[in-house]
Structure 1
Amino acid sequence: MHPVQTFELILALLGVAIALHYGAARLRIPPSAALLVGGGALAFAPGLPLVELDPELMLVLFLPPLLMDGAYYTAFGRFRRHLPGILSLAIGAVLFSAIVVSIAVHWLFPQLPWAACLALGAIVSPPDAVAARAVLQGVRLPRRLQALLEGESLLNDATGLVLFRFAVAAALTGMFNPGQAVGTFLVLAVGGVVIGALVAAVWMFVMRRLRDETLVVATSVLLCWGAYVAGEAAHVSGVISTVTAGIAFGWYQHVILPAGVRLQGSAFWRTLVFTLEALVFILMGFSLRSVIERAGGVEALVSTYAVPALTVTAAVIAARFLWVAGSEMMLTGLKATGLSRARPLGWRQAGVIGWTGMRGVVTMAVALSLPGNFPGRDMMLVTAFAVILATVIIQGATLGWVIRLLRPEDKDPPAKMALPAAEAAVARAKFLEAEAVAYDRNGELIHPQLLETYKSRAEGTAKYAADADNFMERIRPHFDLMLQVIAAGRTELLRLHRHGEIEDEVLHDLERDLDFEEMTIVFQRGDDPEDEDQAAAAGRTI
């Protein structure tokens, strides 16, 4: 296919992805499921070329920025506090699932080498960071569950990739050393942390010296691919390297990046992540055509591979439930013996974790990377795609319903200070500083307006913290009027520009001021700033 046609196809796919995402939001279904199904249906449209996805390109193109985004927003305190549970899922559950799948596959195909069966287990065992993020961002979970699932999705790919590498080598050479595999995994993991920390340190050194906002945002984008490529070049885990750099990025950006860069970078990253997530799911669906053609058509695929696909899918789902149930029983037993640090999840939270095992881009990319002469390769490709379809569509689409049915309780102790109290503390600190600089050395008040402004804000936030719900009900009409006033100013600004009375530069400068003013009020109202429809309605139609 000509490069221009390839570019046009990518643009068309992005347009379709936006339409599918919009439709999924209207129908209240996970966008990942709509994109996967829509891409699969689009693949059979007449006249479209056959798309062959290069697995290594898929991983290096899509995985680093999506891992970086997830790591950037990781609540590091909860991540560290729940690290044992995260590792149990990211390592233990992946290994257990791989073993269960390999047993099921060997039972179906006794002639298939055990190493090949384990390779398929490694392919389908790690839940996918992209799929998990796409589904979890649309639901509300208790903080402990959120930390466990987000942490698992960031780390489990490394386990699956290492296990896959050794299983493929064993299937092709007939040699497998479990001790060597464990040692290699530890080296890859620790090396990934070291490389990720070094890349993050270099990034922070550069960030402190850049002054241009565009350069800073561009450099932050390079961080994710730089960490991944550096990890792979050093023959350690690029996944863990990227996650480490992302966590460091999220932790230190508060003191390194100026406010303007943070606002600009956040908007850019939201757009980038949306585009990549949409394209990766629709491209996975698009690749269904090549999988079906390789299997000999739909009828041949169903008659030949339906049983192994259903068996492996059932094994993947059952293995996760078994691991979660076993871990829960062990924690319950340890707590009964008096171990205070053992904190069972409870059957409600355990049930939700058992149902959140969506597979995605890593499973597809790793399956496509199987050597052409690998035993059972076609069966593994079809089975891997079936697992992705089943977990994303079935589990992803029903996760919200499962959460509403089980109603998992948030048993994590809350922080000492809630949002209203924190706002009051910040306002108090600003008032004390304003009070300190408002007087000259002789004690004469020289900045009365500054002092009055911050005194008023400190008093207002103190009243808000004392009774947040009632205070917000009383003050919300005031915010509505402020938005109405801003809307009037915006209308006048546009009138001046449309009549040629001001230059474009003046329009952009004043419009930016109005945008910041509006967003400040939207935050104070408690609205979701990402809900553009709500923000627009609040600011322009009152």
Structure 2
Amino acid sequence: MLLLEITLALLGACLGLAILARRTRLPYAVVLILGGMALAFIPGLPRVELDPTLALAAFLPPLLQASAWRTDWQEFRANLWPIMLLAVGAVFFTAACVAVVAKLLLPDLPWAAAIALGAIVAPPDAVAAASVLQRMPLPRRIVTVLEGESLMNDASALVLFRLAVGAVAVGSVAPGLAAVTFLAVAIGGFLVGLAVALLAARVLPRLEATPLEIAFTFLTAYGAFLIAEKLHVSGVIAVVTAGIMIAQRQRALLTAQTRIEALATWSFMEFVLTSLVFILVGLQLNGILERLGAYPLPVLVVGAAALSATLILSRLGWVIPFAYLPRLFPALARNEMLPRPRHAVIIGWAGMRGVVSLATALALPLEIPHRDLLIFLAFVAILATLVVQGTTLEWLIIRLGVVEPTRRGMAPAEATARRLMAEAALGEVEGRLDSPLDGVIARDLVGEFRDIARVFTGVAAGGTQAELRARLQIRLAALRASRERLIRHQREDGLSDEMLTSLLSETDYEELRLQQQLAQAG
């Protein structure tokens, strides 16, 4: 009963803090983690301990799969080079910089333990940056690179952490063996994800029920992660691989109804899990501080400040040179995929850390020297990146002028796609004009389809969009009038609730479609 009460109380706190974040326009993650810290110091509240193993297994798979399902595979492949430079190169570089600083602060700390600390805080969390990025109309390439990095960087950081902890236990690990182990763990995770995706492709079409299909998508996320971890390979890579492969085939594997309902279900779960993650991070502060009595305050302050600064500056030190240095070479400077310097600054500053870093810190073995101090330093670094970078990222985006102008009206590319769809539908109707059975009905419909094709042809050619907007507004007004009449009919003539719900569901889907088109048409 106590667990249920705590869970409901945390969900209530998450909802209240989410409303506060929207009202204050502060990053969602910052408000949640600060709110969790405040709750941790309220007298009489039960202590909430975050089991690191449970945290990774419970929260990480669905959040990773949700990101994988949103990933545009074509854009991901087109930006694979900068994504891997961040997901692997930046993680290793940051871990090395943090390890050096940690060794300077604590000379008796083994190098392997210092590298483990670096691996803990190295991977940024795109969920933490999402609350800012979603509010800003950024160039699509920046969003693609950051989302792609978030899919892969946890894998490289967790593998590096595992190798470093193993080196502490045995005393040392040969660099060659570590590199081979890293590749084996990554390839093994990919193979597990591939196997899970192939199994899902065979099972999903046979379920033939939306609730079962949605439940199975969650099962694939957890299954890929847990199987990979049992085999001692990368669970993160397994989840990402399975998620991307299933997402690419979702239109063949899932019905339209399942895709619509799955989107709502996954959005809700992502909100709940993300909210709980960050508020639980804040709740850990009280317990961490209680275990630091042996360390003088100056040591804690200097160490926390040095590590936080290193974490922020090392990412900028890795990202920005890849935007500026290649321009010294004309052959590279002509490359259209070369990152713009302003974009690189935004990517470098969007380095907020999150739950993976804290859960990994709490997973440090008890025999690690200065374990409590390392956990404290990791926590402060997470908080520093969230507060410092999270609260200034939007300002920096505006200051650098990276925000793309809001497009008014439907883009010609979208209008062209809609024209092709309308012409295909028109061709199907016109093909039935000579049919003895369907011809009469087709002649009644052909005018409407020709008109739709004509409108989108004009928009695609750069013509006025006023007619398109007027049509959509009239259809939306007519739809709402029909809904009001249906509700009035139910009150007057006693239409069954089941039939009312079914008919209203149709109008809801149609209204959503019209509203989306109207928003895109400006």
Look up the equivalent residue of 1:433 and give its one-letter code.
E
Structure 1 residue 132, shift from structure 2 partner: 3.8
Partner of 2:486: 493
Q: Deviations over 1:381-423 (max 9, x none)?
A: 111111111111221222111111112388xxxxx97111111
The equivalent position to 1:387 in structure 2, one of 381, 384, 388, is: 381
Code of the residue aligned with 1:324 in structure 2: it is: V
Q: 1:431, CA displacement in angstroms?
A: 1.2
Q: How far is the alpha carbon of 1:138 from its aligned partner?
A: 3.1
Aligned residues: 516
Deviates further, 387-396 or 478-487: 478-487
Q: 1:518 aligns with which of 508, 511, 522?
A: 511
Partner of 2:364: 370
Query: Where in structure 2 are there 5+ consecutive unaligned residues?
Result: 405-410
Query: C-alpha distance in 2, partners of 1:322/1:440?
Result: 70
Instruction: Find the counterpart in structure 1 of residue 203 from structure 2.
Output: 206
Correspondence 1:402 to 2:396: yes
- Alpha-carbon RMSD across the aligned residues, in angstroms, is 2.4
Kindly report which structure 2 residues correspond to 1:268-287, keeping only aligned pairs within 5 A, or say none.
268-287=265-284
Q: Equivalent residue for 1:254?
A: 251
- Residue pairs, 1:420-431, within 5 angstroms: 420-431=415-426
Separation of aligned partners in 1, 2:322 and 2:366: 38
Find the counterpart in structure 2 of residue 534 from structure 1.
none
In 1, Cα distance between the equivalents of 2:49 and 2:296? Answer: 19
**Counterpart check, 1:174 vs 2:171:** yes
1:321 deviates by 0.9
Match of 2:347 in 1: 353
Aligned twin of 1:64: 61
Q: How far off is 1:35 after superposition? A: 0.7
The 8 Å contact of residues 438 and 450 in structure 1, kept in 2 or not, is answered as: no
Alignment match of 1:219 (pick from 216, 220, 236): 216
Kindly indicate whether the alpha-carbon contact (under 8 Å) linking 1:331 and 1:342 is maintained by their aligned counterparts in 2: no
String of CA shifts for 1:223-259, please: whole Å, max 9, x gaps.
1111111221222111011111111122111222211
Q: Distance in 2 between matches of 1:344 and 1:327?
A: 9
SS at 1:140 equivalent: coil
Shift in CA distance, 285/143, structure 1 to aligned 2, threshold 3 Å: same
Query: 1:14 Cα deviation (Å)?
Result: 0.6
Q: 1:39 aligns to what?
A: 36
Shift of 1:340: 5.2
Measured against aligned partners, the alpha-carbon deviations of 1:155-205 in whole angstroms (never above 9, x if no partner) come to 011111111112112223211211111111111111211211111111111
> Counterpart of 2:476 in structure 1: which amino acid?
L
Greater shift, 279-288 or 143-152, is seen at 143-152
Alignment of 1:175-190 (within 5 A): 175-190=172-187
TM-score (normalised: structure 1): 0.90
Query: Does the CA contact (< 8 Å) of 1:30 and 1:138 recur in 2?
Result: no
Q: Deviations over 1:341-373 (max 9, x none)?
A: 574312211111110111111100010011122
Show the 5 A alignment for 1:273-312: 273-296=270-293, 302-312=297-307
Is 2:233 aligned against 1:240? no
The residue number in structure 1 matching 2:462 is 467
The offset of 1:45, in angstroms, is 1.5
Q: 2 CA distance for matches of 1:119 and 1:293?
A: 23
Taking the aligned partners of 2:120 and 2:242, their CA distance within structure 1 comes to 25
Residue 323 (structure 2) pairs with residue 328 (structure 1): yes
**Which residue, out of 425, 429, 433, partners 1:434?**
429
Q: Distance in 1 between matches of 2:360 and 2:437?
A: 73
SS in 2 for 1:437: coil
Verify the 8 A CA contact 2:432 2:438 in the aligned structure 1.
no
Distance 1:137 1:286 in 2: 26
Aligned pair partner of 2:453 in 458, 479, 500 = 458
Q: 1:397 to 1:443 in 2, by over 3 A?
A: closer
Supply the AA of the counterpart residue of 1:102. A
* Alpha-carbon distance in structure 2 between the residues aligned to 1:397 and 1:439: 65
Shift in alpha-carbon separation, 1:386–1:517, aligned structure 2, 3 A: same
Corresponding residue for residue 408 of structure 2 = none
Partner SS for 2:431: helix
1:535 aligns with none
Q: In 2, distance between residues paired with 1:303 and 1:489? A: 70
How far did residue 453 of structure 1 move?
Answer: 2.9
- Tell me how far apart the structure 2 counterparts of residues 301 and 71 of structure 1 sit (CA, whole Å): 44
Mean Cα deviation higher: 383-392 or 439-448: 439-448
Is the 1:439–1:446 Cα contact (8 Å) retained in structure 2?
no
Comparing 455-464 with 308-317, greater Cα deviation is found at 455-464
Deviations 1:312-354 (A, max 9, x none): 0100111111111232344324x42468557431221111111
Q: Distance in 2 between matches of 1:433 and 1:54?
A: 59
The gaps in structure 1 that reach 5 residues or longer are 411-415, 529-542
Q: Does 1:152 align with 2:145?
A: no
